Amino acid sequence: MDTAGLKVFEAVARTGGMNRAAAELHTVQSNVTARIRALETELGCPLFERHRRGVALTAAGQRLLPYARRLAWLLTDAARAARDDGLPRGPLTIGSLETTAALRLSPLIASYAAACPEVDLALRPGTTAELIDAVLDRRLEGAFVCGPVAHPSLVEQVMFEEELAILAAPGLASIEAATRDVGTGGGIARIVVLRAGCSYRQRLEALLARRGIAVPRLLEFGTLEAIFGCVAAGLGITLLPRALVGPVWQSGRVSLHRLPPDEALVTTVFIQRREAHVSTALRAFLDHVRAVPAQAELARATA
């Protein structure tokens, strides 16, 4: 086997057809077919079953595919490592919880861009579950997620600690009233959350369960502003970092209810694949995040 043959095999498996793989690899279909036949002859087993709509992996092909993908990634990562001359430059794609991006990262992006003008930074939002999958699939160099993660293929480092709080409509005077109404339907019959996989959603459901409150109906939204609007309108309660919601709370749109320390504190960690090359651009970004003081966020949290 050689790397070229495995690259063709991976492309055919991913696209589901010889013609589609040939178009992606900028070659002709006959070359792709010849590569696959040579690989099957060398291994002594068929890798694909042919049908009218394309091809499907055989059991042998399914066993080979993870190795072909791993090799393709190792070659890509090796090239990135060789080109990395110690200066932050080139593409950098990382993920973040939307709350972390809004509270912690957005104020830093402009200063990082000024300090590292040759880096093309892309910040992808998502839930903890989505971001973990993206890092494992190597679609992101790393991501800021709710920790701990404790995955054998990932390394994590603690970056921030946040205090969570319950947000409810302005008329609710206490957390007891807010959670009681969720359970009884007395005015609030829903929790307002981000989509499935959101770590704060999971924590809110666990918080209610500890109080003997069955998980109520959900209102799911894709943006924080939509969540603020629904909570302010009395449609439900939510759980978010206290520092993030300071301006909304101070304007009187919502009521904010603090939690006991064992329920309130949550750690944000940065995750990366264990064996991946850490680019100079990524190292510089993490150093930048650590170096910038958080007085503004702390001031908002204690205001």
CATH number at residue 129: 3.40.190.10
What CATH number has the domain bearing residue 65? 1.10.10.10
pLDDT at 59: 96
Residues 47 and 172 in one domain: no
Q: Which among 27, 56, 83 is the end of a domain?
A: 83
25 and 67 in a single domain? The answer is yes
Q: What is the mean pLDDT of the chain?
A: 86
Same domain, 19 and 33: yes
Say yes or no to pLDDT of 84 above 70.
Answer: yes
CA 10-11-15 angle, to 5 degrees, is: 120
For the chain, how many structural domains are there in total? Answer: 3
Q: Is the pLDDT of residue 298 over 50?
A: no
**Statement to judge: residues 187 and 54 lie in one domain:** no
List, for residues 31-63, the tens digit of each pLDDT value: 999 999 999 999 999 999 988 888 999 999 999
- Give the model's confidence band at 156: pLDDT under 50 very low, under 70 low, under 90 confident, else very high: very high
Q: Quickly state the pLDDT bin for 181 (edges 50, 70, 90).
A: low
Same domain, 139 and 8: no
Question: Could you say which of 56, 83, 110 is where a domain stops?
Answer: 83
Same domain, 171 and 207: yes
Are residues 290 and 148 part of one domain? yes
Mean pLDDT, range 138-160, rounded to an integer? 94
Q: 199 CB contacts (<8 Å, ≥6 apart)? A: 97, 127, 128, 145, 146, 266
pLDDT > 70 fraction of the chain, expressed in percent and rounded: 89
- 38 with 181, same domain: the answer is no
Percent of the chain with pLDDT over 90: 50
Please provide residue 273's backbone torsions phi and psi, each rounded to the nearest 5 degrees.
-65, 140
Q: Are residues 129 and 146 in the same domain?
A: yes
Instruction: Pick 249 or 243 by higher pLDDT.
Output: 243
* The pLDDT of residue 217: 77
The mean per-residue pLDDT over the stretch 157-182 comes to 78
Query: What is the rounded CA–CA span in Å between residue 207 and residue 218?
Result: 15
Show the domain range for 287.
90-160+267-302
Residue 176 has pLDDT above 90, yes or no: no
Same domain, yes or no: 38 and 75: yes
Shared domain for 107 and 133, answered yes or no, is yes
Longest dimension (CA), the chain: 74
Q: Residue 222: pLDDT above 90?
A: no
Does one domain contain both 152 and 275?
yes
Looking at residue 179, its pLDDT comes to: 60
Range 86-111 average pLDDT: 91
- The yes-or-no verdict on residue 262 having pLDDT over 50 is yes
CA distance 146 to 133: 14
